[in-house]
Amino acid sequence: MTDLTAVDLKTFHSLQEQLGADFLPGIVEIFCEDVLQQLQAAESALSSGDQSAFTRAVHSIKSTSLSFGALDFGAEARELETLGRAGDLEKAKTRFPMLLEACPVLRQKLKELCHA
């Protein structure tokens, strides 16, 4: 089964090199905050049946997750985005909790990698 908390080290270290090790912890912190906010927005949109708000939120999560090496997390967000665009919010509801659950673990992993 896919581990949504997995971080691709090659991507992460490449980003670290490109941004600078001093800059990375701050941007990871912002990323984690924003992902959390987007997840809350997506959850709320799912509850209210707001297709476009849900799609927009998971689109944003997908886009930035891939940058930090959270490839599976990003891929899952992409799947949810596809479901959102297709209007299949019922199926999205069944998959969305996995993303929610993975988020705190992913956050911790990224923070640790910053200081590794």
Partner 1 sequence: MPEIPKSRLLVVDDDRVNRLVMQRYLETEGHQVSLAADGEEALGLLARKTFDMVLLDIEMPGMNGFQVLEKMTADPLLREVPVVVVSGVEGLDSVVRCIQMGAEDYLTKPVNRVLLKARIDASLEKKLLRDRQSTLLKRLQREMEIAQHTQMSILPERLPEPAGYTFGALMKPARSVGGDFYDAIPMGEERWGLVVGDVSDKGLPAALFMTLTYSLIRVEATQNKGPGQALRDVNKYLLEMNNENMFVTVLCGLLNCREHSFHYARAGHPLPIWISPEGLPLAFEKRPSQALGLFEDPQIDEGIIQIPAGSLMVMYSDGLSEAVNPEGKQLGHSGLEARLRSTHQLSPGAVCLDFWQYVQTYCGGSEQQDDFTVLAFHRENQSLA
4, 5, 12, 31: which one binds partner 1 (CB under 8 A): 31
Total of chain residues touching partner 1, rule CB under 8 A = 18
Instruction: Report the nearest approach of partner 1 to the CB of residue 3 (Å).
Output: 20
In contact, 4 and 74? CB cutoff 8 Å: no
In the range 11-30, which residues lie near partner 1 by CB under 8 A? 15, 18-20, 23, 27, 30
Residue partners of 2: CB distance under 8 A and separation at least 6? 72, 75, 76
Q: Is 78 in the site for partner 1 (CB under 8 A)?
A: yes
Q: Is 48 in the site for partner 1 (CB under 8 A)?
A: no
In the range 52-71, which residues lie near partner 1 by CB under 8 A? 56, 59-60, 62-64, 66-67
> How many beta carbons lie within 10 A of that of residue 70, not counting itself?
30
Binding site for partner 1 (CB under 8 A): 15, 18-20, 23, 27, 30-31, 34, 56, 59-60, 62-64, 66-67, 78
